[in-house]
Amino acid sequence: MKTYDLLICEDKKVVLLGLKKLTEGFDLPIGQIYLAENGLQALELFREHPVDLVMTDIQMPGCDGLKMLGQMQQQGRKFQAVIISGYDDFAYAKTAIQLGIENYLLKPVDPDELKTSLIRCIEALDKQDSQQQILSGILLDQIQDVWGGTLSEETVQELLTTPDSFFQASPVGFLAFYLGDGSETRLAAKRRSISAFLSQHFERQVIFPAADRLLGAVVNLSDRKQAHFEAFQPVLESFLQSVCRETGEILYGAMAPAAGTVFQLREAILQTEGALFRRFGVGKQQLAFAWEDLPADAAQTDLQRCCSALSSALRMPDIASVERECHTLFRQLSHDPRLLALLPTCLRSVRSFADQSLDEPMDELLPVQISDGVTSLDQLEAAVRDSLMPLCRRRLKGQQVPQDAVAQAIAYMEKNYQKPLTLTILANVVSLNYTYFSSIFKKRTGVSVIIYLQNLRLNKAKELLITTDDKVGEIAHKTGFSDERYFGKLFKQCEGMTPSEYRQKLSRFTDTGEA
């Protein structure tokens, strides 16, 4: 259970200790309790420790309670406060309300009122945590929907802890930066430059690595900044050109129109990624790209038709056909480079086809991965073609597997079922990778290798129960079960009776001729 640390500030030590003892007697999730005898000491403790709750008097030497709370709020920390004062003065209460503090108690403190105030504070903190988790979760979902396969666990955790202050304004913008080549030291320097650049123009931003050389950035936009963001491409271009001049290395960037809310961020990410891919259709003179209106529907339809033809070629499969359809796709892109913005979506459709229709993993077709080290449209075509080849080889190998591989495995099991067989042993018998062997066996028989072997052994055991007088334990070992109790449990689970009951029932049927 989560606990909340409390800071109590009171200049009268007897009262201070009394409040501490009173609070400790409440059945509340309060952890560490810090004590301060004046406002300055309380501010120092607040800076040094993760304080969640503050309980303070107003009139204190050095720094009064209201001024102290105002300075604490300026630090941007999330906390709740209870004011305990001996002064029933409306001016004090009014100032507390202006600070957003609703828990104002008069001395002498009523224990029930104090407990109720602390409960309200804790509930408010829980609500803030819950809201932050919900909004952070939405932010992560929008990003993962596009780049989920390439986000590191560290990045996921960072996104999940995005401070709630980031969501104070509804509009959000998205930018992507392709870092290009260079040593890790140089790549780190580029990341720092990007961070400094974004901090200069946007008060709040979340920067994260989408892949090894791709950096994503969600920027928070106020209504005043949204119009500024729509005209931001020249500013972005100027920054990228300055990095290029200073380092001698290329740094690309892209952006899309602002999203109205974090719920619409996914579309902005997809558009930004598409805009970034337009760099393959231009020279190095342009470094910043923004999403723009795409060409007529007919051109988009032709591009989609090329993607469908590429998927069909993968189904066959025929390496020459795959290479031909891949070339046709990129020839279409070369006719109108603006279509490059649709390439990531096209590649995802091919990957989805392979995953769902061919039952083949295609993680290697992620656009952010194939763009690494690629600087031209021809190189991009080669990268896409090369990423498709492993799938073609796997499918060709599948077609070349001897048709009797499963039959060979079954024959081996029939002859050696009493031995300690495993999936790995059986895969070696037919000279196949055990994962691939398991897959084709289930497709051919409808059950897994282990279930098939188990059923085979049970059928052999039933034969011995009817045709021999061997004890149940002996039959279990003769049919490959090393544990008699497991054999009995499994037999009853499959037949609805114990091996002995099965033997008696079948013997009675044989002796009396009952049907």
In three-state form (DSSP H/G/I as H, E/B as E, the rest C), the secondary structure along 445-504 is: HCCCHHHHHHHHHHHHHHHHHHHCCCCHHHHHHHCCCCCHHHHHHHHHHHHCCCHHHHHH
| Domain membership of residue 186 as a residue range | 144-289
Domain final position from 109, 131, 162:
109
CA atoms within 13 A on the CB side of 26: 22
Mean residue pLDDT of the chain comes to 83
Whether residues 381 and 415 share a domain: the answer is: no
What pLDDT score does 153 carry? 80
Q: How confident is the model over 434-444, as a mean pLDDT?
A: 83
Nearest Cα to Cα of residue 460 among 412, 414, 424, 502: 414
Residue 402 has pLDDT above 60, yes or no: no
Tens digits of residue pLDDT in 95-140? 665 566 767 788 888 999 999 989 988 888 876 665 555 566 777 7
Tens digits of residue pLDDT in 134-159? 566 777 778 887 876 677 788 887 78
For residue 136, being part of any structural domain is answered with no
For 351, the token pair is 């990957």
Q: How confident is the model over 467-489, as a mean pLDDT?
A: 90
Whether residues 28 and 54 share a domain: the answer is: yes
Whether the CB-CB separation of 6 and 28 falls below 8 Å is answered with no
Whether residues 305 and 358 share a domain: the answer is: yes
For 473, the token pair is 């334990």
For residue 138, being part of any structural domain is answered with no
Cis peptide before 108 (omega within 30 of 0): yes
For residue 507, being part of any structural domain is answered with yes
For residue 116, being part of any structural domain is answered with no
Domain final position from 400, 426, 452:
400
Whether the CB-CB separation of 39 and 60 falls below 8 Å is answered with yes
Domain final position from 235, 269, 289:
289
Whether residues 285 and 302 share a domain: the answer is: no
Highest mean pLDDT among 74-78, 253-257, 333-337: 253-257
Whether residues 70 and 155 share a domain: the answer is: no
Highest mean pLDDT among 99-108, 165-174, 187-196: 187-196
The 10 Å Cβ neighbour count of residue 468 is 12
Q: Distance between terminal CA atoms of the chain?
A: 64
Q: How confident is the model over 449-462, as a mean pLDDT?
A: 92
Q: How confident is the model over 32-49, as a mean pLDDT?
A: 92
Whether residues 224 and 285 share a domain: the answer is: yes
For residue 117, being part of any structural domain is answered with no
Q: What is the H or E stretch that residue 34 is in?
A: strand 30-36
For residue 88, being part of any structural domain is answered with yes
Which is more confident, 24 or 395? 24
Whether residues 273 and 178 share a domain: the answer is: yes
What pLDDT score does 515 carry? 40
pLDDT tier, 512 (very low <50, low <70, confident <90, very high otherwise): very low
Whether residues 182 and 308 share a domain: the answer is: no
| Integer Cα distance of 318 and 392 in angstroms | 7
Nearest Cα to Cα of residue 72 among 105, 39, 102: 39
For residue 123, being part of any structural domain is answered with no
Tens digits of residue pLDDT in 311-352? 888 887 778 888 999 999 999 888 888 888 888 888 888 888
| Integer Cα distance of 382 and 327 in angstroms | 9
Residue 13 has pLDDT above 70, yes or no: yes
Q: Residue 279 has what DSSP assignment? A: G
Count of structural domains, the chain: 4
For residue 126, being part of any structural domain is answered with no
Inter-residue long-range contacts of 475-478, CB under 8 Å, 24+ positions, other chains counted: 475/499, 477/418, 478/418
Whether residues 280 and 347 share a domain: the answer is: no
